[in-house]
Structure 1
Amino acid sequence: MTQNELNALRHAAEGSLLFHNGLWGTPAGYRWAAPDGSSAGQVPQWECETLDLLERRRLIAIRPATGARDVPVVATAAGIRLLSTLDLQIAA
């Protein structure tokens, strides 16, 4: 796992990311989450590409929802296990 992938996975695990589905007239994509859960700006393109890769690997998931609201991006159980393993290796 690259450092960029690790950082993006940590962002998802920390609850720092939302996904905008494009229903508000702006492009679909990842957004930073503000402390109150609202959108706090667009995630850079390179991290969006990394997040897409992590989703394909099933290390993160976009919580399904109806309507136009932004939804949380979360680390899956596999993503959390991977983070725990990597953190243990770094600490050793």
Structure 2
Amino acid sequence: MTKDELSALRHAAGGMVLFHNGLWGAPAGYRWAAPDGSGAGRVPQWECEALDLLERRGFVAIGRVTGARDGAVVATAAGYALLSTMDERIAA
């Protein structure tokens, strides 16, 4: 796992990322989550690419929502297990 992928996984696990589905005009893509759960700006391209890779590998998932609301990007059980393993390696 690269440093960028680990950073993106930590952001998803921390509830810091949303996915906008493009229904209300702005292009689809990842957004930072504001404290109230709304979108707070675009995630940098390098992190978007890392999040896409993490989703394909099953380490993060995009929450299902209806309508124009943004879905939370969350770490899966596999993602949390990977974070735990990485933290143990760093601590050692």
TM-score for the superposition, normalised by structure 1: 0.98
Task: For residue 87 of structure 1, report the CA deviation from its aligned partner.
Answer: 0.2
Give 2:16's aligned amino acid: S
2:39 alignment counterpart = 39
Report how many residues are paired.
Answer: 92
Shift of residue 26, structure 1, vs aligned partner: 1.0
Q: Deviation of residue 71 (structure 1)?
A: 1.1
Secondary structure of 2:31's counterpart equals strand
**1:45-84 equivalences in 2 (<5 Å):** 45-84=45-84
Structure 1: 4+ residue segments shifted above 4 A: none
Provide structure 2 residue ranges, at least 5 long, that are not aligned to the other structure.
none
CA distance in 2, matches of 1:64, 1:58: 15
Distance across 1 between alignment mates of 2:65 and 2:37: 15
Residue in 2 that maps onto 1:5: 5
Q: Distance in 1 between matches of 2:83 and 2:46?
A: 20
CA distance in 2, matches of 1:55, 1:27: 19
Match of 2:15 in 1: 15
Separation in 2 of the partners of 1:53 and 1:47?
Answer: 10
Mapped to 2, the partners of 1:25 and 1:35 lie a distance apart of 23
1:9-57: CA deviations, max 9, x gaps?
A: 0000000000000001110000000111111100011111110000000
How many percent of aligned residue pairs carry the same amino acid?
A: 75
Aligned-residue CA RMSD (Å): 0.6
